[in-house]
């Protein structure tokens, strides 16, 4: 990964401290982005086998980018803005993440290690092994100093609470605003739009409005919803809102809850799929479109329309595409010239990706050099908040993930909980916007 030569200045050039070394960064961009752009692709080590870890999802949905930041452990650096003099330390490694003696665990136990059964029933040895396992497991050390005091909490009441400022949430907000219905929309990012703003380009995708297009105070950015609860006053969202340098807890009561939280970027089961340099498709498009950071040579694997759109985006920005391996097919009419149907994936490299091998359909195994393997597959619905709110969640064997059970208008088993967008059914941004509009119209029934 590197910052593209034609990168547009997007902030003030600063430096951050990585274990005593000054690393160039851009103020305000995710610090993990600055690190990989500077060639620092190993940010931590895995908990059990101490394998090298680099950022994968850039959505705080995995643990690959956790670092100690200014003394605070287990910080998602993929969502932490870089600032001048920020102190960064890698975790779960000794003496360092680049040379970690505990990675020998992976060599000693090639058929995997179950520490629960090791020396089980052997007096003394059983207790010693349990203590060793507890000492080696876990991430980070407790901070030496107390963190900043949170701001006093605040309580809000509204008719509709919308969670997520992507295609579905924004279209729902347009409908509610047009109907004059009071609502509050919460987006954890600093900008609105989600994949509309930084995903692979889609034909017919709706535009991204400014927050000022909606009633004043109805759209809150940098506000992460952490739960949907009940108390004696009704149902409310618990929201962690970033205000200046501190967090404030918001308690938001609503009559209807519309969840448009999207989904989690999954990975694919292939050998060495956890190497630094293996990155989710939407993370790769975010790095490219928002921060001008991209691989030198990329291979893309997966299936679905976003796979081929992202391959074309890479080519347009001057990134060499070594191969595009579509695992399901058929290849679309707009498939990238390097696209082929295939399987048998394997990543190569020690501290990071150096190559990908695969077997084209009807051909012999091939190996191509690259510094990134981009995994582009449809997201897995982020069903957790809906389930907490009483919606029914079931496993979809055809899609291979859990989904929220809802009708065409987004109604769930919980009468006041509606869903739209990828959380309901992964699809295009245009589809998500249409679902958001239908759900907004449907939830108006019964509102005074």
Domain assignment of residue 76, given as a range: 2-137
Q: How far is CA 386 from CA 53, 104, 221, 390, in A?
A: 31, 42, 21, 7
Domain-located, residue 273:
no
Alpha helices in 83-234 (DSSP H): 104-108, 125-136, 167-179, 195-198
CATH code for position 351: 3.50.50.60
The pLDDT value recorded for residue 237 is 98
Total structural domains in the chain?
3
Bin 113: left if φ > 0, else alpha if -120 < ψ < 50, else beta: beta
246's CB contacts (< 8 A; 6+ apart) are: 148, 149, 150, 151
**In the structure, what pLDDT confidence band is assigned to residue 137 with cuts at 50, 70 and 90?**
low
Give yes or no for a contact between 385 and 261, defined as CB atoms under 8 angstroms apart. yes
Q: What is the mean pLDDT of the chain?
A: 92
Of 86, 112, 137, the residue that ends a domain is: 137
Q: Give the Cα separation of 122 and 188 in Å (integer).
A: 50
pLDDT score at 138: 66
Q: 132 versus 255: which is more confidently predicted?
A: 255
In a domain, 144, yes or no: no
Do 302 and 182 lie in a common domain?
A: no
Question: How far apart are alpha carbons 368 and 336 in whole angstroms?
Answer: 16
One domain for residues 305 and 394: no
The answer on 249 and 324 residing in a single domain is no
CB distance 156 to 219 below 8 Å? no
Query: For residue 438, what are its two tokens?
Result: 């239908």
Residue 136 confidence (pLDDT): 66
> Cα–Cα–Cα angle for 370, 14, 372, nearest 5°?
10
One domain for residues 32 and 12:
yes
C-alpha 79/C-alpha 270 separation (Å) is 27
> What CATH number corresponds to the domain at position 84?
3.10.20.440
Question: Of 6-20, 85-99, 120-134, 382-396, where does mean pLDDT reach its minimum?
Answer: 120-134
pLDDT > 70 fraction of the chain, expressed in percent and rounded? 98
Q: How far is the C-alpha of 415 from the C-alpha of 126, rounded, in Å?
A: 51
Q: Using CA atoms, how far apart are residues 138 and 126, in angstroms rounded to an integer?
A: 20
Residue 165, domain member (yes or no): yes
Residues 6+ apart with CB under 8 A from 127: none
pLDDT higher than threshold 70 for residue 166:
yes
284 & 423 share domain: no
Question: pLDDT tens digits, residue range 268-309?
Answer: 999 999 999 999 999 999 999 999 999 999 999 999 999 999
Sequence-ordered list of residues with C-beta below 8 angstroms from that of 101, at least 6 positions apart, any chain: 94, 95
Please, are residues 347 and 354 in contact by the beta-carbon 8 Å criterion?
A: no
Q: Are residues 292 and 258 in the same domain?
A: no
Q: How far apart are CA 35 and CA 18, in angstroms?
A: 9
Alpha carbon 278 to its chain's center: 13
- Residues 260, 404: one domain? yes
For residues 18 and 103, membership in a common domain is answered with yes
Residue 143 counted as domain residue: no
Strand 297-302 and strand 219-221: the pairing is unpaired
The residue written with tokens 């452990």 in the block is 73
Q: Are residues 208 and 305 in the same domain?
A: no
Each residue's pLDDT tens digit, 75-89: 999 999 999 999 999
């Amino acid at each position: 990964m590197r910052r593209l030569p034609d990168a547009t200045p997007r902030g003030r050039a600063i430096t951050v401290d990585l274990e005593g070394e000054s690393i160039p960064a851009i103020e305000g961009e995710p610090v993990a982005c600055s690190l990989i752009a500077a060639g620092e692709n190993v940010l931590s080590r895995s908990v059990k086998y101490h394998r090298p870890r680099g950022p994968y999802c850039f959505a705080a949905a995995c643990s690959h980018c956790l670092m100690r930041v200014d003394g605070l452990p287990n910080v998602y650096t993929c969502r932490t803005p870089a600032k001048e003099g920020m102190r960064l330390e890698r975790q779960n490694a000794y003496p360092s993440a680049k040379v970690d003696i505990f990675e020998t665990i992976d060599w000693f136990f090639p058929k995997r290690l179950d520490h629960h059964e090791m020396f089980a029933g052997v007096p003394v040895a059983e207790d010693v092994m349990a203590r060793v396992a507890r000492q080696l497991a876990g991430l980070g050390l407790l901070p030496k100093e107390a963190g900043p005091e949170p701001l006093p909490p605040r309580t809000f009441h509204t008719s509709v609470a919308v969670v997520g400022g992507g295609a579905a949430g924004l279209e729902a907000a347009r409908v509610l605003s047009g109907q004059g219905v009071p609502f509050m929309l919460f987006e954890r990012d600093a900008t609105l739009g989600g994949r509309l703003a930084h995903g692979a380009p889609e034909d017919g995708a709706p535009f991204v409005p400014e927050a000022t297009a909606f009633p004043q105070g109805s759209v809150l950015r940098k506000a992460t919803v952490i739960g949907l609860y009940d108390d004696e006053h009704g149902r409310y969202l618990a929201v962690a809102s970033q205000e200046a340098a501190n967090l404030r807890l918001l308690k938001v009561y609503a009559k209807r809850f519309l969840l448009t939280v999207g989904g989690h970027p999954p990975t694919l089961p292939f050998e060495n799929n956890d190497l630094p340099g293996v990155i989710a498709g939407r993370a790769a498009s975010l790095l490219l479109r928002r921060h001008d950071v991209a691989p030198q040579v990329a291979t893309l694997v997966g299936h679905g329309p976003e796979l081929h759109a992202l391959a074309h985006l890479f080519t347009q920005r001057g990134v060499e595409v070594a191969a595009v391996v579509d695992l399901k097919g058929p290849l679309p009419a707009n498939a990238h010239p390097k696209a082929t149907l295939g399987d048998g994936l394997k990543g190569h490299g020690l501290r990071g990706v150096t190559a990908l091998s695969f077997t084209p359909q009807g051909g012999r195994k091939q190996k191509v050099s690259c510094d990134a393997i981009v995994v582009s597959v449809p997201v897995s619905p982020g069903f957790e908040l809906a389930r907490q709110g009483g919606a029914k969640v079931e496993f979809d064997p055809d899609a291979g993930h859990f989904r929220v059970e809802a009708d065409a208008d987004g109604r769930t088993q919980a009468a006041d909980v509606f869903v739209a967008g990828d959380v309901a059914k992964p699809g295009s941004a245009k589809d998500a916007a249409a679902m958001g509009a239908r759900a907004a119209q449907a939830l108006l029934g019964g509102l005074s």
